[in-house]
Amino acid sequence: MTERPQLQLNLTPEQSPAPALGGHETTAHVVAIEVDDREAILLIREATGIRQERRPFRPWLLAAAPASDAGGEWTELAGEGLIWLGEFEGFAAALAARDALREAGRELLWYGSPVKQFQVRSGVTLFGELQFQDAHRLQFDLETTNLRGDRPDARILLIAACDNRGGEWMLAGDDEAALLREFVDLIREQDPDILEGHNLLGFDLPYLEARGRALGVRLTLGRNGSELRFGAERRCPAGPRAWRYRPARIWGRHCLDTLFAVQRFDVGRGELESYSLKAAARHYGIAEPERIILDSAQMARLAREESERVREYALQDVRETRALAELTLPTEFYQAQMIPAPYQSVATGGTGEKINSLLVREYLRQGYGAPVGETPRPAPGGYTEVRQTGILQRVVKCDVESLYPSIMLHYGIHPQTDTLGVFLPMLKTLTGRRLAAKQRMRETADAEQRYWDGIQGSLKILINSFYGYLGAALNFNDPAAAAEVTTTGQRLIQQVADRLEATGSQVIEIDTDGIYFVAPEGVDEESDEAAYIEAVGRETLPKGIHLAHDGRYRAMLSLKIKNYALLTADGRLIRRGASLRSRADERFGREFLTAALLALLEGRPEALGALYAETQARLLAGTLPLADLVRAERFSNKSLATAARRMTPRALEVARSRLGRRLSVYERQDGALALAEEYDGDEDRVRYLEKLHRFAARLRPALPDDFERFCPRPDRKRLEAELAGQTQLSL
C-alpha cells in the first residue's frame, strides 16, 4: 500500500475544522437567503413571524492568476492552485470577469448562484437549530384539463392545498384567472417557507406559470411580491440516472419536489416499481383511507359531474404529498444545515459537490485558495462475486459498516492537496455525529425519533460521499487515493468471505461491502449469527473497521451478480436487479414474476407450472386488460430512429413530440408498436406468450432440471394456427 502522511485525528474541538460543518457563522433560524448585486437578505423565523436582516455581499471567484484587466479587487491567498480571490461590486461585473478568464483559458472556481456564493464566503447556513417540522411547509396540487398549460384546451379546474400546521384549502371556480389570484393570495397570507408538490418542478409550477401568462395574471408568490420564475435546465441525479428539470425561483421560499425526493430515497433500497404519488404512498403505508382513484384524462368531465368526489381526491393527493415529504425530505433539510447552498439545490444536487463546497468554505475561512483538481481516471470497482446460484435457505447477510469511509479513516487515506488537513477530521466528525444520532434514534420515539433518523440519514449520505469525491472532477480530488481505497476494500471483503467459508459457512454472493451466506450448523438464532459475525470481523478486519449483522432471510434465489430475491421472516419479498424487477416490463410480466418468486422461495415449485399455464391461457384468450399488456417506453432521437420502422403513424408522431417522456405502448398483431389509446383488441397474443416464456426463463437457475417441464417454450406456428381456428391446441 502507498505510504501516505498520517493525519492526527484525535483533535480537540479548537484544533479541528469540524465545528465549521454547520457553518462558521452561527445565525440561527434562517429559513431563506436572497441575494442581489450588493446585499444579502436573511429571512429569520422568530416567534412573531419573519424578520429580515441585511448583510453586505460582494460576488467573487477564485482563479489561478489574477485578471486585473477584467476589473474587480484581487487578493492573493495562501496555498497552491486557485489562490487569487477576485471580488466585484456587482454580479454583472463578476460574470464579465468569469467570461474573460474562460476565454483566456485560465482555471477558475465559480458558483453561478449568488446565494451559494454568499453562503460559502459568509459561513451562513439554513435552518440552524430548527427541526424539519419547525419550518412552515405547504403542499399543493393542480387538477387540470391536460398536461400542457400552453395548449388551447388547457385550464386549471381546481387547486387543493394543505400544510404541516393543519390547514386545508380547496380553490375552485369557473373563472380561472380569479382562481389563480386566489392561489396567490393564499400563499401570501399563509406565508410558507417551503412549497412542496409531487412533480412540482415538472408539472404544477410550469403549468401555473403558463396559465398565468396566458390569462395575464401575475404570479407574485415571492415574499417580496416578486413573480415566479425559472432557471436554466439542470439535472437531478438519482442513483445511476439524472432527471432533467428547470429550477423554480420564488423569492424567500423553497420549492421541493417529492417526485425527485422519492427517487433519491429509493436509491439503494430499490423497492419501488413506480415513483407516482399513489404507488409510493401505497408502498410506504401512507395512503389515505378509502383512497379515491380517478382517470386524469377524464378530469374535466368528472369535475362537472362528480365535483365533490374530485375535491376529495385532490385533497387526498396533497395529504399524501405531505406525508411523503415527511418521509423523504428530512435528509436534505438537515444537510442544508451544513451545506452552503439553497435547500432546493441541496435536494437536487450531487453529493460530491456538497463535499467540495464544505472544503472550499473552510479553506476560504482560513485564508487559503482551492487546488485545481486532477483529471479523473477509472478506479477499480468494489469486489463482486457470485459463488452459489439457485434457491438457498436460512440466509444471513453481514456488512462491513461504512467500508470505504472506515478504510479512509483507518489508513489515513486523504487527498494529497488537502494541505490543511480538513478532509479526514471532517469525515471523522461526521461519522461520530452519525453514530451518536443513531444511538439517540434507538433511545427515542415518535417525532423525536424521526428527527434523529433524519439527522443520521443525512450524515450517512455525506459520509459515503467522501470516497466518491476522491475520484470525481472536483477541486480536492485524488484518483490515486480513490484506487487505494477500493483495492483495500477488495482485499478486506475477500478476507471476510474466505474466513466465513473456513468456519463452515456457504458464501452465496459478495458485493463490495456485504456478503450473503448460509451460516454453519449450530448458528441458528439471530443472536448466534450476530456473535458469529462479530467474531469473524475481529479475526479478519483491522481495529476500527466493523463487521455487522445486516439481515436474515427464510430463503434467497441467487441468479447472477446483483440479481437476487429474498424472502423475509414475515413473508415479504425483496427483489434486486433488472432480471427480477424493471419498470420497463409489462405489468403481466411483473405480476407473474412476483407470484412465481413467492412460490419458489416458499418451496412450492409445482405452483410455478400452474401459474405459467394460467397466464398462458389468459394471454391466448385475450382476457388480460390492456393495462397488463402496455409497457412504458422512453424514446430518444437515437432509439426512435431504430423503432420508427415498426411504429404506427400516430405512435411515431407522439413519440417525436414527446422525446424523453414515457409513452404507454403495446405490440399489435401486425407487428407494429402502437399507443395504448389506439388499442382495439388487436394485441399480438403469440408475441406476448413468447414474452411470458422469457419472463419465466429469468428464473431458470432456480429449477435447472425441471424448468422446461414447468414452463414449456411456446410453439409460434401451432399457436397461430390455434388463433386462426385451423387446429385445436391443448395448452
Q: Do 415 and 272 belong to one domain?
A: no
- Residue 671: CATH number of its domain: 1.10.132.60
Q: Do 226 and 306 belong to one domain?
A: yes
Instruction: Compute the distance between CA of residue 717 and CA of residue 680 in angstroms, rounded to an integer.
Output: 24
Last residue of one domain, picked from the residues 519, 554, 576: 576
Last residue of one domain, picked from the residues 129, 163, 194: 129
Q: Do 561 and 629 belong to one domain?
A: no
**3-state class of 150 per DSSP?**
coil
What are the distances in angstroms from CA 320 to CA 171, 183, 579? 18, 20, 31
pLDDT below 70 — which residues of the chain?
1-22, 240, 268-270, 725-731
Q: Do 210 and 310 belong to one domain?
A: yes
Q: Do 713 and 607 belong to one domain?
A: yes
**Would 638 be classed as within a structural domain?**
yes
pLDDT of 268 reads 66
Q: Do 30 and 124 belong to one domain?
A: yes
SS (H, E, C) 471-519: HCCCCCCCHHHHHHHHHHHHHHHHHHHHHHHHCCCEEEEEECCEEEEEC
Closest CA to 671 of 720, 729, 617: 720
What one-character DSSP code corresponds to residue 228? Answer: P
Q: What is the pTM of this model?
A: 0.84
**Would 324 be classed as within a structural domain?**
yes
- Residue 84: CATH number of its domain: 3.30.342.10
**Would 8 be classed as within a structural domain?**
no
Q: Do 475 and 419 belong to one domain?
A: yes
Q: Do 65 and 167 belong to one domain?
A: no
Q: Within its chain, how far is the Cα of 179 from the centroid?
A: 34
Closest CA to 196 of 320, 378, 71: 320
Instruction: Compute the distance between CA of residue 696 and CA of residue 694 in angstroms, rounded to an integer.
Output: 5
Can you point out the beta strands (E) in 504-643?
506-511, 514-518, 547-560, 563-567, 573-576, 631-634
Q: Do 439 and 504 belong to one domain?
A: yes
Q: Do 121 and 162 belong to one domain?
A: no
Domain encompassing residue 507? 384-576
**Would 599 be classed as within a structural domain?**
yes
What one-character DSSP code corresponds to residue 697? Answer: H
What are the distances in angstroms from CA 555 to CA 397, 573, 611? 12, 10, 20
Q: Do 465 and 540 belong to one domain?
A: yes
pLDDT of 20 reads 56
Question: Which residues make beta-bridge pairs with 137?
Answer: 194
Close Cβ partners of 429 (under 8 Å, ≥ 6 residues apart):
16, 18, 21
**Would 423 be classed as within a structural domain?**
yes
**Would 12 be classed as within a structural domain?**
no
Which single residue is written with the C-alpha cell 483495500? 488
**Would 184 be classed as within a structural domain?**
yes
**Would 9 be classed as within a structural domain?**
no
Q: Do 443 and 512 belong to one domain?
A: yes
pLDDT of 464 reads 87
Counted domains in the chain: 4
Instruction: Compute the distance between CA of residue 553 and CA of residue 172 in angstroms, rounded to an integer.
Output: 51
Instruction: Compute the distance between CA of residue 185 and CA of residue 568 in angstroms, rounded to an integer.
Output: 50
- Residue 475: CATH number of its domain: 3.90.1600.10
- The set of cell numbers assigned to 549 is 449483522
- Residue 231: CATH number of its domain: 3.30.420.10
